Structure 1
């Protein structure tokens, strides 16, 4: 019969009566039934604490099933009734010496959960004996109990020598015991300021040998611990990687990702490029095969894998260079998976596979999901900037998308075309007319700012550029700052390139920017332009129309120092957020590559002294500034500003 019958609200006095019944019950069947009812009510949130003394009396019954329920009850209510809980200590000690290893382990586990001072004191001797118990099940349970005890009382664990006992368990013959000891020591090491777990090559080899016989979670614990091994000699990292590599074929995604993390870590300590290349090839199948454990799970598991892969390919792009098709989006992928795949597709794209990628992106740009379409259109523009040989095809694809007249597609296309103009000046200006046909569809700040930049940049080639800017200026004061800044610069460019066309717009825009807005960036730029135009128009032309630096795709890459840190946190929240754990976990210990004779020095001069740089900037020749930056010679900038500027230009 189903246990659902036990999940009914029971009255305390009725349950007490049944629990204390003196009727003959040799098999303790009735007591089992009553305890099941109590546990069921406790699970539903009903307060069963008044039955505490009655339940404790059942601890004497030598039946494992009853003891499990009683111990579960004690764990739940001991903190609220510590005075009564101490009554269970004699039975706990007796059970810790029981001939049945399951009962011994159960007693130790339960005492470790109950954070009551007297019970903790009573736990010390039984726990010490259980750490040396003949049965491996008891030893592995005791190892975890030490970690729980450490969270409650760090000083007690250290003073009683439990750390040394845990270290002894690393050489245990049973792999499950080894795994639990590693898990406990790792947890303690992360929480302690003065205890640090460090592995040498001998211990690391023993841990790797235990992998084959461990459960999947035991393997994960051991692999995590191997991150604490720092190779000191040539060949140590290579040997360990070879022994860990079979874990990459595991069906459990956690084991696979943790193995990838350890191998990525050890690659930093390899000295031969040939060995690094071979190991990168071994990383490709688990990360780039749809049949691997990472892609057989649900979309949530896939997303975790994709976020980690995004980090890996930034450090080792060769790992998945030939597996880009794996990351093509499927129609039933959730949006967060699709967006993660798009980013990976962009990073893995090159001159060889760009045609496949571009074809996929054009198809994605016709989907119905707005966010996905925007990302696809933007990726087409980023491809044009990244791979020069495909710029023509990307422009053609973007023009096709603009012809669809879909509002958000058109606006996103204009945003990326601006970047293409920046990257390839004087090559694709013939499409400006097509862009100007869609001015009425622009209602997003970024798209407006991009279009205004294009108009200002090519004001001398667009016949009615002054009229177009005047239309935008009609709502200048209501526009977001991003659009206002773009309008200000574009108007000044128009005036410098075509003075007669911009002579009516410049004074108006400068006054708005310096008198009618509150944003300091906008006011600063307005005053700078005003000062330049009124004092040295030639310098103004040189500054405003100076050659712009080409856009670099390197800006898409993560800072090397941050990337190194995140690669040490693969398969954790940090690798999903792409943020250091210290930013969202209190008291999290930072991880870094420990110096070693075989540590690769990839980034010479990477860690610069920023204070020194700042000092150099301060000591540079900036000329003199007035105390009030807004105290400019506005008296000389009257209504005749345009006439004076025209003469100077």
Structure 2
């Protein structure tokens, strides 16, 4: 007996241990499925072979694990089309999470397996009638995502059915499906427009934004479909979801610019003239400035920038400045908007220029944008502060930021002429820097300033220095006064006229800067900067009235040509071109100097066999241009035959027009205009485009070339369309109903207004509790007096015990009630009369 009990106990213990092991294994498997998905991406090939077996298992846990592994394989770009038949079997699974993964798999693999995708269409069509709106929306999303042209008609029928679905979530999915169907087969465009007409009449804010987006995608030019919906869209803006607000605002901006008249600015005689529909849009969009989504704030700012009159533009400054402190990513996008607004309306941000100071931890693009914004806000009052800031930014570790800061210093000198001495002092100090980036950018800016100042008309007024500075500081403090050195005057040795000796020294300030640049030509390694120095030396290397080594040429000019000729073979093509131009100009200024002519001939010979065809073409053009000038001048005193040999090959067998020296002078020296520093970001890029943020002209919002016109903001109309086209049933005045009692004859004529669109409330009496002897009271005192008299009469009746007249009173009240009903309902009185 004891042995039997022991056997039973051991058997039960064995069963309990197995049950515990199974339970632990089940819980352990759950933990393995719910932990991080990194193991799914590192699975071995043998586990991938078991996916089909897991998909055909009866356990949802196995199927879910298999689908997760398939999604991981899809993300690794592995072929998973072989599992398609097994996956399709789980389309109708009651497990919602499993069905989602199946839908994702079908969306990714249906284009590659269109025949197999057709097997699941019946299931999706059945799901369109599922009681759950989530299932219906998912089925439509997957059905429209199977981009097979052969089933476009079936998908279109599903979209039409879902567009009238009672759930706004399903109608939103229908609007998104319209876009997919249009991309697959544009032959259904008229039918899709009919569906869009239905969706635009939707009252739910959940689907309204998506409907507007779908219309803008399939028919961007059909803004006329929004006529009757414009005011309703404006009023519904605060209730639409955040990303829907962005789409609706973008479309409404185009609608207003296309259909509404342009606001007339205020004048001395009359105020601003703004269309009432535009006022409605701005009033409904203004609260969105406080939205927590930065995209919505930028969309509203764009709408105000392009639509609002000048008196309302100040409302966009505070919201845009608030975005600078949201995050680094948002700050970069907000700065792109701020730069455009600051260039057109700098007065909005002048008092807040401290918000745009560069921080050390700012990204490169953010630093460059801030420098551009600060430059747009530069005025005579804050240029000193900005100049010091730009000088500090010139020491940045990023070369692009250094270049922008140095160019900004040059722009300050152009915007505020009184700051030119300080800007030149800073730029000349940068030339002595050991960093090539600083030196090269300083040379470029100095070249622009010197050229612009030397090309301005000369002034005959006396120029005086404010204080007795040193010679170098005095030249810089003169702000580079106006001087136009005429080459023809220099060649004729006509002295420059000034009103004083101080003016003479002041006039040489640009030449002094050029001389310093020429002396440091070996330290300037940047090709563009070296080309600028060579151009300055050739353009302004002539001197008159001063004894120099080469008559008519500054002492530093031939030495610059010698250094450039020595390193000609190793220079960049841009430097070679300017070296050729410098040699031609110096020959023209001193054609009788034998050494200079030989040096120029050496440079032209090197250029003739250069690898760059631009250099060879420039050398051939200049040699041909100088044929008549050099040989004609040197024919009288040419001992070694340099003039006869000059460009002999060009003269032999190539007859043509030979220009005189004066004509060549006009070609090489005159006709040059000053350069204006270009803005760092083009103003032509509109707000709301990706090219504005990425600073690229090749980026567009849409992939198709036909949609590029959508990006361009339409021009305003002088006279908009008829406002009556925007009238709808919502705007029509409704007859207000009154809260009335049936027995009240007097109050039937007195209406109590009710809100538009609300259901009138009618109070219906129950029983015979209708007041007797109802009169049309017009005096409040008589009303209260009558009420007191009725109370006295009732008390007296109670005291006398008049109870026998109660039935008569009831009959009288019923008769009065019938009379009151007859007054309110003429049909009832007519029936009684008949």
**Does the TM-score normalized on the shorter chain lie above 0.5?**
yes
Distance 1:576 1:440 in 2: 37
Distance 2:51 2:668 in 1: 86
- The answer (yes or no) to whether the contact 1:261–1:571 under 8 Å persists in 2 is no
2:56 corresponds to which of 1, 4, 20: 20
1:537 corresponds to which of 652, 656, 661: 661
1:443 aligns with 2:476: no
Q: How does 1:364-403 map to 2 (within 5 A)?
A: 364-403=393-432
Structure 1: gaps (5+ residues): 268-274, 600-649
- The answer (yes or no) to whether the contact 1:111–1:120 under 8 Å persists in 2 is no
Q: Deviations over 1:214-234 (max 9, x none)?
A: 222111111121133024335
Q: What is the match of residue 316 of structure 2? A: 283
- The 3 A distance-change label for structure 1 pair 507 and 221 is same
Deviation of 1:531 (Å): 4.2
Q: What is the match of residue 622 of structure 1? A: none
Q: What is the match of residue 169 of structure 2? A: 137
More moved, 75-84 vs 538-547: 538-547
Distance 2:227 2:160 in 1: 28
Distance 2:586 2:575 in 1: 16
Q: How does 1:138-287 map to 2 (within 5 A)?
A: 138-156=170-188, 158-159=189-190, 161-190=191-220, 196-198=222-224, 202-229=228-255, 230-233=258-261, 234=263, 235-236=274-275, 237-267=278-308, 275-276=309-310, 278-287=311-320
1:524 aligns with 2:565: no
1:88 corresponds to which of 105, 120, 128: 120
1:338 aligns with 2:371: no
Kindly tell me the number of residue pairs found equivalent between the two proteins: 570
- The answer (yes or no) to whether the contact 2:691–2:700 under 8 Å persists in 1 is no
Q: Deviations over 1:504-538 (max 9, x none)?
A: 32464257448725432443244334445655334
Q: Deviations over 1:228-248 (max 9, x none)?
A: 302433523454334323333
- The 3 A distance-change label for structure 1 pair 538 and 113 is closer
1:589 aligns with 2:617: no
- The answer (yes or no) to whether the contact 2:152–2:185 under 8 Å persists in 1 is no
- The answer (yes or no) to whether the contact 2:238–2:288 under 8 Å persists in 1 is no
More moved, 88-97 vs 407-416: 407-416
- The 3 A distance-change label for structure 1 pair 295 and 103 is same
Q: What is the match of residue 505 of structure 1? A: 596
Aligned to 2:718, the other structure's residue is in SS state coil
- The answer (yes or no) to whether the contact 1:105–1:137 under 8 Å persists in 2 is yes
- The 3 A distance-change label for structure 1 pair 435 and 12 is closer
Deviation of 1:32 (Å): 4.0
Relative contact order (C-alpha < 8 Å, sep 6+): which is higher?
1
- The 3 A distance-change label for structure 1 pair 455 and 60 is closer
Distance 2:699 2:399 in 1: 32
Q: What is the match of residue 473 of structure 1? A: 565
- The answer (yes or no) to whether the contact 1:306–1:340 under 8 Å persists in 2 is yes
- The 3 A distance-change label for structure 1 pair 94 and 265 is same
- The answer (yes or no) to whether the contact 1:109–1:141 under 8 Å persists in 2 is yes
Q: What is the match of residue 620 of structure 1? A: none
- Provide TM-score, normalisation by structure 1: 0.78
Aligned to 1:62, the other structure's residue is in SS state coil
- The answer (yes or no) to whether the contact 1:510–1:530 under 8 Å persists in 2 is no
Deviation of 1:584 (Å): 9.6
Q: How does 1:408-487 map to 2 (within 5 A)?
A: 408-425=437-454, 426=507, 427-456=509-538, 457-460=540-543, 462-476=554-568, 478-487=570-579
Distance 2:669 2:302 in 1: 49
Deviation of 1:172 (Å): 1.6
Deviation of 1:540 (Å): 4.2
CA RMSD of aligned residues (A): 3.3
Distance 1:258 1:532 in 2: 64
Q: Deviations over 1:546-566 (max 9, x none)?
A: 48544445x54988xxx55x3
- The answer (yes or no) to whether the contact 1:250–1:293 under 8 Å persists in 2 is no
- The 3 A distance-change label for structure 1 pair 421 and 44 is closer
- The answer (yes or no) to whether the contact 1:459–1:498 under 8 Å persists in 2 is no
Aligned to 1:255, the other structure's residue is in SS state helix
More moved, 407-416 vs 513-522: 513-522
Distance 1:584 1:530 in 2: 56
Distance 1:584 1:448 in 2: 43
Distance 1:400 1:311 in 2: 33
Q: What is the match of residue 98 of structure 1? A: 130
- The answer (yes or no) to whether the contact 1:111–1:119 under 8 Å persists in 2 is no
Structure 2: gaps (5+ residues): 1-30, 264-273, 455-506, 547-553, 633-658, 721-834
Q: Deviations over 1:576-635 (max 9, x none)?
A: 335265799542332342451259xxxxxxxxxxxxxxxxxxxxxxxxxxxxxxxxxxxx
Deviation of 1:165 (Å): 2.0
Distance 1:18 1:539 in 2: 90
Distance 2:318 2:530 in 1: 45
Q: What is the match of residue 624 of structure 1? A: none
Aligned to 1:59, the other structure's residue is in SS state coil
Distance 2:696 2:423 in 1: 30
- The 3 A distance-change label for structure 1 pair 524 and 172 is same
Distance 1:317 1:516 in 2: 53
More moved, 511-520 vs 57-66: 511-520
Distance 2:374 2:93 in 1: 63
- The answer (yes or no) to whether the contact 2:565–2:579 under 8 Å persists in 1 is yes
Q: What is the match of residue 350 of structure 1? A: 379
- The answer (yes or no) to whether the contact 1:12–1:48 under 8 Å persists in 2 is no
Distance 1:408 1:51 in 2: 59
Distance 2:661 2:382 in 1: 49
Distance 2:692 2:379 in 1: 29
- The 3 A distance-change label for structure 1 pair 513 and 60 is same
Q: What is the match of residue 296 of structure 1? A: 326
Distance 1:491 1:531 in 2: 16
Distance 2:253 2:570 in 1: 55
- The 3 A distance-change label for structure 1 pair 489 and 240 is same
- The answer (yes or no) to whether the contact 2:518–2:557 under 8 Å persists in 1 is no
Q: What is the match of residue 141 of structure 2? A: 109
Q: Deviations over 1:328-382 (max 9, x none)?
A: 2111112232223223332332322211111011111223333322332232223
Aligned to 1:441, the other structure's residue is in SS state coil
- The 3 A distance-change label for structure 1 pair 168 and 394 is same
Distance 2:66 2:218 in 1: 40
- The 3 A distance-change label for structure 1 pair 455 and 162 is closer
Deviation of 1:132 (Å): 0.7
Distance 2:701 2:64 in 1: 49
Deviation of 1:98 (Å): 0.9
- The 3 A distance-change label for structure 1 pair 57 and 394 is same
- Provide TM-score, normalisation by structure 2: 0.62
More moved, 134-143 vs 447-456: 447-456
Q: Greater Rg, structure 1 or structure 2?
A: 2
Distance 1:402 1:15 in 2: 70
Q: Deviations over 1:132-186 (max 9, x none)?
A: 1111111101110111111111113x25x23222233223221120011111111
